Amino acid sequence: MPETGIVLLAAGRGIRFGARPKLLAALDGRPLVRHAAETALATRLRPVVVVLGAQAAPVRAALAGLDLAFVENPDFAAGLSTSLKAGLAALPERCAGAVVMLGDMPRVMPALVARLADAFDGSQAAVVPVAGGRRGNPVLLNRRRLAAELAGLDGDRGAGPLLAARADVLEIPGDPGSGLDIDTPEALAALQPGRSGS
């Protein structure tokens, strides 16, 4: 089985969330980004590389005490593609696979991350979860097979458009957490205990 690491994207500005830093907003008493990091660390995959940007110091502080590697993306304002490339470059060469996680997806379960890695045999360009007929996150990218395409990404785009038309993408069953990202305070409030949607 090819070695696989994790890239946790936590560099964005979270503009739609408002004035408060989105990744530092609390859910169940912990910052959103810490939920994602703890999910990553609950798997056997290593290393877990966190890409920092807009709120580098407070995000790093929110993750204190966890066994993580950090890389800062000075170009975070140029969009998601720059953070994705920074995170992939920070993984050791031995990691053919990279599970790309998002810091604003607190309900992704370790079992889903593990299933992505278990399904990856090196022949696929990517392994993606599907729930309700839609692809979600996190996704596992084959760093070697996609190297040229990933290097060409720019702007506020992830790998999704690269994978859309490829025949060598393996889809596996997702779960409700694979389609749930937090973009607004209202979405976060809906997850709080005692609120609808929790």
- Report percent pLDDT > 70 for the chain: 93
Instruction: Show the tokens assigned to 18.
Output: 């408002």
User: What is the reported pLDDT for 89?
Assistant: 96
Does any domain span residue 39? yes
Structural domain range at position 100? 4-191
User: What is the reported pLDDT for 196?
Assistant: 42
Does any domain span residue 198? no
Which CATH number covers residue 40? 3.90.550.10
Reported as a pLDDT band with limits 50, 70 and 90, residue 15 is: low
d(CA 82, CA 80): 5
Does any domain span residue 196? no
Does any domain span residue 56? yes
How would you classify the pairing of strands 26-27 and 48-52?
Answer: unpaired
User: What is the reported pLDDT for 12?
Assistant: 82
Does any domain span residue 33? yes
Reported as a pLDDT band with limits 50, 70 and 90, residue 182 is: confident
Does any domain span residue 144? yes
Domain count, the chain: 1
**What does pTM read for this prediction?**
0.93
User: CB atoms < 10 A from the CB of 80, how many?
Assistant: 20
Does any domain span residue 197? no
φ/ψ of residue 58, rounded to 5 = -70, -30
User: CB atoms < 10 A from the CB of 78, how many?
Assistant: 13
- Report percent pLDDT > 90 for the chain: 75
Task: Give the mean model confidence (pLDDT) for residues 48-73.
Answer: 96
Among 22-31, 84-93, 144-153, 183-192, the minimum mean pLDDT is found in: 183-192
Does any domain span residue 121? yes
How would you classify the pairing of strands 139-142 and 126-131?
Answer: antiparallel
